[in-house]
Amino acid sequence: MAHLRRDFLIFGGGAGAGLALSPAPWRLIGDTALWSQNWSWIPRTPRGEISYKPTVCELCPAGCAVRARLAGTQPVSLWAAPQGGNTAPLCPAGLCGHHLAFHPSRLRTTWREGKPCAANAPVEAAAKAIASAQGAVAVLDLRPGRTASLLYRKHLAKLGGHYLTVTPTLGSTLQSIAETTQGPAVPAFDLDNTGVLLSIGTPVLEAWDAPGRMLNPSRKFRLWHAEALESATALAAERWFRIRPNSETAIAAGLVAAIDGDRATLRQAADLTGISESELTAAAHDLLKSNAVAVADTHPVLGPPARETLRAVACLNARLGAIGRKGGIIGRYQTPLPKTWGPLAPETSLDGVPDASLHFLFIDDATPGAPLPWKAIASKLAPGAVVVSASWSTNGLARHANYALPAISYLEGLHDVPTPPASASARFALSLPLVEPAAKAIEPVEWFGRLAGDETKLADRLKERASAIYPGKRGEMHPASGEVVRVSTLKSAEEFWTAAMAGGRWQDDAEALTLKAGRTPQPPFRLESAATLEIVPTAWMGADVSPLMTKLWVESSLKPRTQQVFLHPDTARRLALEHGARARITSSCGECSVEVALDAAVQPGVLQMAAGQAWFALCETRDGALRAEAKKVVRA
Ligand code: SF4
């Protein structure tokens, strides 16, 4: 029998109708969906008893108190915990801190030149390099101020090496004051009694003190902020001086000149900053009447201010009478340390080390938020130098070091947090481990300590530190829950340690010590005109902490990408570029390719770009700060 086309059509139509009405295909789709959700490698929601544990966030020096919610043994969310009578909110990085252990970029094995290697290979290479380095050995600590930082200094004193930082332990402004003072007093901001905090380019709101304190509507001080960018701090400040890029020194010098009656410098500062002479003069007189203090501190991502800016700010603080005054910069005690630890190597700025002088360098890069252009380190290395980086991530410095070690990071080990610059009294608080670290992860300071012949665990050293604090019977222990207790009422150092291990925070008495600054820097200050095209970096503190945040950041354009540059439409017109065009930027030390985006909020003459590989390619260290100016911008 011959088959007609009609037969095929009837068969096809019948089969289609039968399939649609049959449960078989729908059942198959449903079962496939269920099976695909139950394969063994699918992440599972943790099950178990819900409990809460206290800890402290160690992702930045603010050290916010945290209450972790756990399902079984797994932290599933982090919440702000009360501290000093307030419950201050956590920043986005702090809220996602428990994601860090699962970040796809975590370094989980030992690397040699970017490839897995045996765990003892870097030990042997480091021991050999130290033995032949004749003291040209250094540790670069990207999170100074911790007990681990003091231990690095102790080990380096024994090895005759250098302890290097990018951000000084005290913060840049206080460090510049500390260099002129003598005696045991450590300079500290007395913000509880300040009238106006004048921030010169400091990320006060984003990464300086706990955001809850800065955002607290009942805080006593007013925040004045000088910055070229429309940053979170600029938008939240009571007064924002929108200065031209790289004119931080000029605004500080202009305020000094207004106080001194130096009309020529005032005029020059007004030209450079874009803030009129009359506004600078009125601001200077308001500051004189307002119990004010000025700060120009390091940005954890963008680096320290220029040395000349720090000189001008130190002079401004002296003119405002802020040094040694209640509400200004007062003296405080340090958190005590055991006498048995012996001498400590002095703290030196990485920038201050002679070029090509280091034969062995160990880098502590165990938490996100402190990227550094490799060229800032590479210039300090002697030919053939050995670099070992204890890193949290496979990106960044781990890619450049000869050896990279997987480091125990936030929530994976017992660590302490430093006293932040905005705290008027010393503190001691422990960040408690809640997550099991990767099998091969190391505690960076213990690894380096073994090279100096010290096998003591960091946990034991922290207990020694607590035992050194207790005998002074000073201050209060703020437990994670319950009543604040005076240390003098605790019966032993063991009881002090038990309280700290239960999430308690020791806060020293707010007793101001006499702080006498020596001779502060005096005018004139070196004032530079801005280039025709200045490159200004932006940064989102802690964006790397969580893969979820990174995905949101990259895919939603919530934050600019690192290969993108933002221009004012007038600037783009001048450069013959339009939105979405590809451009090539050349600076005095490098070049990069970027995508152009127009934004009327960017100042004319400014190329605004997120700190990342493109920015690092263009910038160089000048007078202690990372700077870049565009020599040429052309369509790619
Ligand atoms: S401000 Fe700093 S310490 Fe506080 S939650 Fe954020 S990253 Fe953590």
pLDDT in tens, 546-599: 888 777 777 777 777 778 899 999 999 999 999 999 999 999 889 999 999 999
Write the CA distances from 55 to 75, 208, 430, 455, 481, integer angstroms. Answer: 11, 20, 7, 26, 12
Helical spans, DSSP H, in 78-120? 92-95
Report how far ligand 1's centroid is from the alpha carbon of 209 (Å).
8
What is the value of pTM for the model shown? 0.90
Report how far ligand 1's centroid is from the alpha carbon of 351 (Å).
27
Residues 471-498 have pLDDT tens digits of: 999 999 998 877 899 999 999 999 999 9
Residues 358-393 have pLDDT tens digits of: 999 999 999 887 568 899 999 999 999 999 999 999
Mean pLDDT of 26-52: 80
According to the model, what pLDDT value does residue 370 have?
A: 59
Atom of ligand 1 nearest to the CA of 542: 7
Sheet of strand 358-365: strand arrangement: 115-116, 111-112, 403-406, 381-391, 358-365, 137-141, 162-165, 347-349
Atom of ligand 1 nearest to the CA of 59: 7
Q: Rounded to the nearest 10 degrees, what angle do helices 248-260 and 277-289 cross at?
A: 70
Report how far ligand 1's centroid is from the alpha carbon of 26 (Å).
49
Q: Report whether pLDDT(305) > 70.
A: yes
534-635 shares the fold of 50-102: no
Helical spans, DSSP H, in 290-418? 307-319, 374-378
Which residues make beta-bridge pairs with 592? 585
Domain 50-102 has CATH 2.20.25.90: yes
Whether 502 and 480 have beta carbons less than 8 Å apart is answered as yes
Annotate 597-634 with three-state secondary structure: EECCCCCCCEEEEECCHHHHHHCEEECCEEECECCEEE
Mean pLDDT of 14-34: 83
Report how far ligand 1's centroid is from the alpha carbon of 217 (Å).
19
The two structure tokens encoding residue 369 = 């938020």
Q: Report whether pLDDT(97) > 80.
A: yes
Burial 599-613 (b: 16+ CB within 10 A, else e): eeebbebbbbbbbbe
Report how far ligand 1's centroid is from the alpha carbon of 57 (Å).
6
Q: Top-level CATH class of 191-327? A: alpha beta
Atom of ligand 1 nearest to the CA of 90: 5
Report how far ligand 1's centroid is from the alpha carbon of 206 (Å).
9
Whether 163 and 346 have beta carbons less than 8 Å apart is answered as yes
According to the model, what pLDDT value does residue 434 have?
A: 95
Report how far ligand 1's centroid is from the alpha carbon of 506 (Å).
18
Q: Which helix (H) or strand (E) holds 278?
A: helix 277-289
Closest CA to 458 of 511, 415, 406, 503: 415
Q: Top-level CATH class of 111-166+336-507? A: alpha beta
Residues 518-536 have pLDDT tens digits of: 888 999 999 988 788 999 9
Whether 552 and 92 have beta carbons less than 8 Å apart is answered as no
Report how far ligand 1's centroid is from the alpha carbon of 92 (Å).
8
Pocket of ligand 1 (CB under 6 A): 57, 59-60, 62-64, 90-91, 93-94, 210-211, 542
Burial 104-136 (b: 16+ CB within 10 A, else e): ebbbebbbeeeeebeeeebbebbeebbeebeeb
Report how far ligand 1's centroid is from the alpha carbon of 536 (Å).
25
**What secondary structure letter does DSSP report for 352?**
G
C-alpha dihedral, 402 to 407 to 409 to 411, nearest 10°: 170
What is the distance between the alpha carbons of residues 240 and 568, in angstroms, rounded to a whole number? 20
Q: Which of 55, 56, 57, 98 to mutate to test the pocket of ligand 1 (most atoms within 8 A of CB)?
A: 57
What is the distance between the alpha carbons of residues 187 and 334, in angstroms, rounded to a whole number? 10
The two structure tokens encoding residue 249 = 């020194």
Kindly list the domain boundaries of the chain, sorted by start residue: 5-36, 50-102, 111-166+336-507, 191-327, 534-635
| Residue nearest ligand 1's atom 1 by CA | 210
Q: Which of 55, 60, 78, 216 to mutate to test the pocket of ligand 1 (most atoms within 8 A of CB)?
A: 60
Residues 592-623 have pLDDT tens digits of: 999 999 999 999 999 999 888 888 899 988 89
Amino acid 18 reads: G
Atom of ligand 1 nearest to the CA of 63: 3
Residues 151-187 have pLDDT tens digits of: 999 999 999 999 999 988 999 999 999 988 877 889 9
Share of the chain above pLDDT 70, in %: 97
What is the distance between the alpha carbons of residues 248 and 201, in angstroms, rounded to a whole number? 7
| Cα torsion angle, 416, 419, 425, 426, sign | positive
Q: Report whether pLDDT(85) > 80.
A: no
Share of the chain above pLDDT 90, in %: 66
Atom of ligand 1 nearest to the CA of 91: 6
Report how far ligand 1's centroid is from the alpha carbon of 60 (Å).
5
Least confident span in 47-56, 66-75, 82-91, 496-505: 82-91
CATH architecture of 534-635: Beta Barrel (2.40)
Atom of ligand 1 nearest to the CA of 369: 7
| Residue nearest ligand 1's atom 8 by CA | 94
Supply the mean pLDDT for the chain: 91
Mean pLDDT of 502-510: 92
According to the model, what pLDDT value does residue 8 have?
A: 84
The backbone region for 81, taken as left when phi is positive above 0, alpha when psi lies in -120 to 50, beta otherwise, is beta
